[in-house]
């Protein structure tokens, strides 16, 4: 494996899940595997979980992680090919990425979307510039359109939690938010849940359809109460408009999950990638109750990253 940027296949997902679960009970077993190697974790945007869990994962494999907050500590990057750099940008991505590639054995990049330039975001332009010019293996720490380490942790969590014999019913539900939020977590969760063979229903208000390249194969049910009936796992996430790109179309609080919403899903477990805005996206009642498996998801971020880095190390 050279790149970890999206869902590859069920076989690869199963391998990574198995590996992650092994590391969860044997976290330091491969302490020599990455000895003498460095991973550069490059953040163009804020993070808590991804930043800490990726460093811990690398340390568990004996690697040296170095974190750079490029948005605050690096030079302002120019992304456009052939740009005349006579404005605010100081360094071209092709120079910066090549330098970073020469310093590190693996690069891990977080680059959020603009939510203003739809075409550039869909092409994952900034993230792919790092892939193009760094010349080393690259791990996505969340790009404009995907968050695969989060999704792998989510699949690990579902596998740990699910004790049934049939396939679980998994529901991705939109939640209200006051800010325009990227589509990456919702896209990626959809991609991985479908790829791993889960029965997936997506529910959201009118005008919040996700990019169809991700939702093909999922059931779309715009009636949230209907969608939630008999759910085994409910993944809560806000995203902004895709057709009306990056726009907040509604903040209707009726979409915020409470116990009342789950009266016909008595065993449903509730998931969220975090950070979560309490009592806006999700109620205290759910987050602090027995259904919530958010902390397990967050813990599994370490082992998801460890499995991926280990696989890249070979």
Stretch that binds ligand CP, among 42-50, 88-96, 187-195, 256-264 (CB under 6 A): 42-50
Distance from C-alpha of 138 to C-alpha of 105, rounded to nearest angstrom: 9
Residue matched to tokens 């938010």: 177
49 makes contact with ligand CP (CB under 6 A):
yes
83 makes contact with ligand CP (CB under 6 A):
no
50 makes contact with ligand CP (CB under 6 A):
yes
- Do the strands 199-203 and 64-69 form a parallel or antiparallel pair, or are they unpaired? unpaired
Q: Has 49 been labeled as part of a binding site?
A: yes
Computed from CA positions of residues 196, 199, 205, 207, in that sequence, does the dihedral angle turn out positive or negative?
positive
Q: How many residues sit close enough to ligand CP to count as binding (CB under 6 A)? A: 9
What is the gyration radius of the CA atoms in the chain, in angstroms? 19
DSSP for 200-269 reads EEEE--TT-PPPHHHHTTSEE-S-HHHHHTT-SEEEEE----TTTTT------GGGSB-GGGGTT-TT-E
Smallest separation, CB 141 to ligand CP (Å) = 7
Smallest separation, CB 298 to ligand CP (Å) = 7
Q: Which of 281, 226, 278, 244 is nearest to 115 (CA)?
A: 244
What would the x/- binding string for ligand CP be over residues 266 to 295, using CB under 6 A? -------xxx--------------------
56 makes contact with ligand CP (CB under 6 A):
no
Smallest separation, CB 173 to ligand CP (Å) = 17
Smallest separation, CB 248 to ligand CP (Å) = 20
Determine how many CB atoms are found less than 10 A away from the CB of residue 178: 11
Residue nearest to ligand CP (CB): 50
Would you say 72 or 266 has its CB closer to ligand CP? 72
Which residues are part of a known binding site for N(2)-succinyl-L-ornithine?
142, 177, 237, 277
């Amino acid at each position: 494996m050279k790149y970890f940027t999206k869902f590859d296949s069920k076989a690869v997902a199963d391998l990574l899940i198995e590996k992650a679960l092994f590391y969860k009970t044997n976290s330091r077993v491969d302490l020599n595997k990455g000895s003498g190697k460095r991973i550069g974790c490059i953040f163009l945007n804020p993070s808590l979980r991804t930043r800490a869990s990726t460093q811990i994962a690398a340390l568990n494999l004996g690697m040296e992680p170095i974190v750079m907050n490029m948005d605050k500590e690096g030079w302002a990057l120019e992304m456009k090919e052939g740009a005349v750099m006579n404005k605010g940008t100081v360094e071209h991505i092709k120079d910066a990425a090549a330098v970073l590639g020469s310093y590190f054995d693996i690069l891990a990049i977080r680059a959020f979307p603009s939510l203003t330039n739809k075409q550039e975001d869909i092409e994952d332009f900034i993230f792919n510039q790092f892939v193009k010019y760094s010349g080393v293996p690259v791990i996505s720490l969340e790009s404009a359109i995907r968050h695969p380490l989060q999704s792998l942790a989510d699949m690990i969590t579902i596998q740990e939690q699910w004790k049934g014999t049939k396939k679980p019913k998994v529901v991705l539900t939109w939640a209200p938010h006051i800010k325009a939020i990227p589509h990456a977590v919702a896209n990626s969760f959809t991609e991985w849940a479908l790829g791993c063979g889960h029965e997936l229903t997506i529910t959201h208000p009118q005008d919040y359809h996700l990019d169809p390249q991700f939702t093909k194969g999922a059931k779309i049910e715009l009636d949230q109460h209907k969608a939630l009936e008999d759910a085994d796992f409910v993944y809560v996430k806000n995203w902004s408009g895709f057709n009306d790109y990056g726009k907040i179309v509604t903040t209707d609080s009726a979409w915020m999950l409470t116990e009342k919403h789950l009266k016909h899903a008595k065993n449903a477990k509730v998931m969220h990638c975090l950070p979560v805005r309490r009592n806006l996206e999700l109620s205290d009642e759910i987050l602090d109750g027995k259904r919530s498996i958010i902390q397990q998801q967050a813990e599994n971020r370490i082992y998801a990253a460890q499995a991926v880095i280990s696989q890249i190390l070979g």
